[in-house]
Amino acid sequence: MSPDFRNPTPCGQLFIGAHNLHRQSLLKETTNLSSTCPPCMPREGAMISREDVNTLAKSSGWLSKQPSEFQEALLSRCNLRRHVAGEIICNVGDRFTGMFGLVTGIMKIEFATPGQDLKIASVKQSNFWFGQASSLTREAHSVTVTVTKPSSILHISHERFEELMADASYARCFALLTVEHYYEAATALAHLLSDRTEHRIASRLALLAEKAGGVTPIELCVTQNDLAEMCNLSRSVVLQVLKRLEDRGIIQTAYRRIQISDPVSLLAFCSETA
């Protein structure tokens, strides 16, 4: 879910459209996995060079789909930041400070609930960009973003971001990122509206798998507690559904990880339980 997605008001048809777009995207990605292997990611905690960071940043996700001229213009204006587990990138209510790109590592995105408690909305791993919405609107961050594993993060200041926004073709690239965030947010919300718990959990896993990318098996660095919070369900309910998926050979659970062994069958399970 986009950490800067503000006050969404999509109608039912847009929910359905985003949901179908997500299914089509994951099906397309899993039909030719052997020929779409991304560059090898460094082992957890390994230090990588700025050159390698730039290469990885262009290898998948939103930036990989933008013109090379824009890629170079953005990356040349970014500073590389190294973060350790527990460090906060931004808090709910913090002033806008430009845009961030998670290249390697893991981070969690949390929203403030009406009771002011933070709840996990999503867990991100590699090539996730955010912060552009706050810089565009010049409003405070609406989420808290916390690093949960050693991470390499690119940051472009608000001032340098404004330089790029002055170019109409570059502004369109940022608009496409916001649209991408919108589709993900609408899809996640559509899943939450389902009263079928199995569908809600399986669909959330499918969305996380799509965004994580990579080849089968897809490793999700998400705990069962995280998944329960994202689905607004109890951990015991989530465990029951995960066991059913594991018995079918669709997933494998491990400590603080869920492995998607068969993404196509996971999508079929989503349809079966809808």
pLDDT for residue 137 is more than 50? yes
Looking at the chain, how many residues does it have?
A: 274
What value, to the nearest 5°, has the Cα angle with vertex 241 and ends 235 and 243?
Answer: 100
pLDDT per position as a tens digit, 199-232: 999 999 999 998 887 678 899 999 999 999 999 9
Of 16-20, 44-48, 93-97, where does mean pLDDT reach its minimum?
16-20
Q: What is the pTM of this model?
A: 0.81
Q: Give the pLDDT of residue 120.
A: 94
Counting the structural domains of the chain, the total is: 2
pLDDT for residue 11 is more than 70? no
- 114 within a domain of the structure (yes/no): yes
Q: Give the pLDDT of residue 104.
A: 95
**Do 164 and 65 fall into the same domain?**
yes
Distances from the Cα of 146 to the Cα of 44, 112, 246, 263, 264, angstroms: 17, 14, 29, 28, 31
pLDDT for residue 21 is more than 50? no
Distance CA 222, CA 205 (A): 10
**Do 204 and 177 fall into the same domain?**
no
The predicted model gives 137-158 an average pLDDT of 96
**Do 55 and 187 fall into the same domain?**
yes
% of the chain with per-residue pLDDT over 90 = 75
pLDDT confidence bin for 146, thresholds 50/70/90: very high
- 17 within a domain of the structure (yes/no): no
**Do 144 and 97 fall into the same domain?**
yes
**Do 97 and 74 fall into the same domain?**
yes
Range of the domain at 114: 50-191
The predicted model gives 181-189 an average pLDDT of 94
Residues 6+ apart with CB under 8 A from 190: 15, 16, 18, 19
CATH number at residue 222: 1.10.10.10
Q: Give the pLDDT of residue 98.
A: 96
- 187 within a domain of the structure (yes/no): yes
Where would I find the beta strands (DSSP E) of the chain?
Answer: 79-83, 88-90, 99-112, 118-125, 128-130, 144-156, 218-220, 251-254, 257-260
The predicted model gives 238-244 an average pLDDT of 97
CA nearest to 76, candidates 192, 161, 152: 161
Check the CA dihedral 28-30-36-37 and report its sign. positive
**Do 121 and 210 fall into the same domain?**
no
pLDDT for residue 263 is more than 70? yes
Residues 6+ apart with CB under 8 A from 270: 23, 199, 202, 203, 206
CATH number at residue 117: 2.60.120.10
Which has more pLDDT, 123 or 36? 123
